[in-house]
């Protein structure tokens, strides 16, 4: 059985930049990497309470992947895709829609800092 998390992450790594970085992808990726490097990881940890309710590190519910250790840029791309409703999942669209850019970057920095 294919691990859905790794399949999704693989697809996002291959095709994500085409969908989420409009204009000059290299500059956009560099800007995003810079923002993540400067992000407030502690703020991300503070915000993570709602995320970990469903996205548990072990024993995750069927169909809900763990997001610990996820690549920060991929996390940002995925959350932005839910926020703009490019990805379908009503719960994730609602959750992502409540986050601003700083919160998304902080969550990305936090979750990427955790072991998977």
Interval 73-91: pLDDT, tens: 999 999 999 999 999 999 9
Domain ranges of the chain: 34-56+65-116
CA 89/CA 54 separation, integer angstroms: 14
Structure tokens given for 85: 């409703």
Q: 34-56+65-116 adopts what CATH topology?
A: Cytochrome Bc1 Complex; Chain D, domain 2 (1.10.760)
CB 48 within 8 A of CB 111: yes
* Whole-number percent of the chain with pLDDT over 70: 72
CB 92 within 8 A of CB 81: no
Q: Return the pLDDT at 18.
A: 46
| Total Cβ atoms within 10 A of residue 65 | 17
CA 111/CA 62 separation, integer angstroms: 20
Q: Return the pLDDT at 63.
A: 77
pTM: 0.75
CA 36/CA 39 separation, integer angstroms: 5
Q: Return the pLDDT at 51.
A: 93
| Total Cβ atoms within 10 A of residue 15 | 10
């Amino acid at each position: 059985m294919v691990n859905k998390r790794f399949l999704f992450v693989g697809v996002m790594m291959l095709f994500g930049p085409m969908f989420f970085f409009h204009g000059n992808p290299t500059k956009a990726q560099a800007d995003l990497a810079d923002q993540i490097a400067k992000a407030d990881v502690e703020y991300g940890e503070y915000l993570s309470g709602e995320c970990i309710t469903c996205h548990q590190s072990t024993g995750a519910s069927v169909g809900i992947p763990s997001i610990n250790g996820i690549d920060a840029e991929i996390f940002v791309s995925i959350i932005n895709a839910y926020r703009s409703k490019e990805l379908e999942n009503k719960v994730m669209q609602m959750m992502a829609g409540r986050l601003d850019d700083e919160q998304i970057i902080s969550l990305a920095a936090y979750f990427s800092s955790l072991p998977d």
